[in-house]
């Protein structure tokens, strides 16, 4: 039997694959997967805001929608959401509303994270659902992908500066 840690590492690889695919459309490279209670992949998602023009098309929301459609049920009880970046407030709210009991994430989001860094929505005691959080899984890889993306954007903007 595979250990929980090994399973989380493998699931994060699938989320990283989704994150890399987001680069094809110029989206921020964040990927997510929803894993069913039996270990099967029920939904995958990547940021699609640029691709679709939808401000709610975050990787987590896309994966949650796909998983709910696969199950024919909005309650994703027993599932695990794996995402390359700490969920934001919108995504954390969607996780709570979908009744997902576990979240595994890679990199911390010190500016907009809502799973322990800036806000703590997933374990807010006043809500009717709490989520077990496993942070920092393959954190360096997840953070590196984001740093490269934003670094290349800054370089591109700098090279498009004023002409002499």
**HEC per residue, 73-87:** CCCCCCCEEEEEECC
Distance CA 85, CA 113 (A): 8
Q: What is the DSSP letter of 24?
A: G
60 is catalytic: yes
| Catalytic residue from among 2, 13, 50, 60 | 60
What are the strands, taking DSSP E only, across the chain?
31-35, 41-46, 80-85, 102-107, 132-134
The answer on whether 142 is annotated among ligand-binding residues is: no
Q: Please state the residue numbers annotated as binding site for Zn(2+).
A: 58, 88, 91
Q: Please state the residue numbers annotated as binding site.
A: 58, 88, 91
Give the residue numbers marked as catalytic: 60
């Amino acid at each position: 039997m595979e250990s929980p840690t090994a399973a989380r590492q493998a699931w994060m690889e699938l989320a990283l694959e989704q994150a890399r695919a987001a680069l094809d459309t110029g989206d921020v490279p964040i990927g997510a997967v929803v894993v069913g209670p039996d270990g099967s992949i029920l939904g995958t998602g990547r940021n699609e805001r640029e691709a679709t023009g939808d401000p709610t098309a975050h990787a987590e929301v896309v994966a949650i929608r796909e998983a709910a459609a696969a199950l024919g049920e909005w309650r994703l009880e027993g599932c695990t959401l794996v995402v390359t970046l700490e969920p934001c407030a919108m995504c954390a709210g969607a996780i709570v509303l979908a009744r997902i009991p576990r979240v595994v994430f890679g990199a911390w989001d010190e500016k907009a994270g809502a799973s322990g860094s800036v806000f703590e929505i997933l374990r807010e005691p006043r809500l009717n659902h709490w989520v077990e959080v496993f942070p920092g899984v393959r954190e360096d890889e997840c953070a590196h992908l984001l740093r490269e993306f934003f670094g290349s954007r800054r370089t591109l903007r700098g090279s498009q500066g004023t002409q002499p």
